[in-house]
Chain A
Amino acid sequence: DQQVKQNSPSLSVQEGRISILNCDYTNSMFDYFLWYKKYPAEGPTFLISISSIKDKNEDGRFTVFLNKSAKHLSLHIVPSQPGDSAVYFCAASDRGSRLTFGEGTQLTVNP
């Protein structure tokens, strides 16, 4: 039972344009959501998070949106840069420290 799903295995965008990565979840007990970025041969790096009491959190070029009624969150990167090319994982937590991860989306930003 995949409680956190990232339906797009890959996404390709042009440098300077917006990248939108999507994530859906099924467990209504999730109360905190995170995005991680992973480069090859490295561990995942924390990027940005959002609590379930908010619907938007912004940090520089990165914004996470949460739609609780749809059980959907998205990560917007604008403007996209070639250095953003990586695998992006969304993750969710249910009142504890344990995270459930999606399968990841490979983002490629073309110069």
Chain B
Amino acid sequence: DARVTQTPRHKVTEMGQEVTMRCQPILGHNTVFWYRQTMMQGLELLAYFRNRAPLDDSGMPKDRFSAEMPDATLATLKIQPSEPRDSAVYFCASGHGHTQYFGPGTRLTVL
């Protein structure tokens, strides 16, 4: 039963600290997405990759967020420095075609 995995599941950090979230997409999927869910904004697309190449990161605050795919089995989302307004649940999803399959999310709390 192939699934998208994300680590860590929960992260509490202090303002100004660096945060790295990791995602292992489903093997064989050629697209990977990062979303953020807050109470106010619903599911917000931050960035996505196709065949490991970044296609769109216009949803991310460029000065503090970065997304990479160092290889086909790992996608990372980094926030440096983190701010309290970054507190949210961050989802990774992978897909092939129209359908995306989501991981369980990383709940980030920035104090």
Please report A residues at the B interface, Cβ cutoff 8 Å: 32, 34, 36, 41-46, 49, 89, 93, 97-104
Counting residue pairs across A and B whose Cβ atoms lie within 8 Å, the total is 50
Q: Is B100 a contact partner of A46 (Cβ separation < 8 A)?
A: yes
Which 10 pairs between the two chains have the least Cβ-Cβ distance?
A43-B102, A101-B43, A103-B42, A97-B31, A32-B98, A44-B102, A93-B98, A43-B104, A43-B103, A43-B105
* Chain A, Cβ-Cβ closest to B6: A43
Give the distance to chain B from A95, nearest Cβ to Cβ, in Å: 10
Q: Is B99 a contact partner of A101 (Cβ separation < 8 A)?
A: no
- The answer to the question of B56 belonging to the interface, with a C-beta cut-off of 8 Å to chain A, is yes
Chain A: interface secondary structure? strand
Q: Is B43 a contact partner of A89 (Cβ separation < 8 A)?
A: yes
Classify chain B's interface size: 20 to 34
Q: Is A104 a contact partner of B42 (Cβ separation < 8 A)?
A: yes
* Chain B, Cβ-Cβ closest to A95: B98
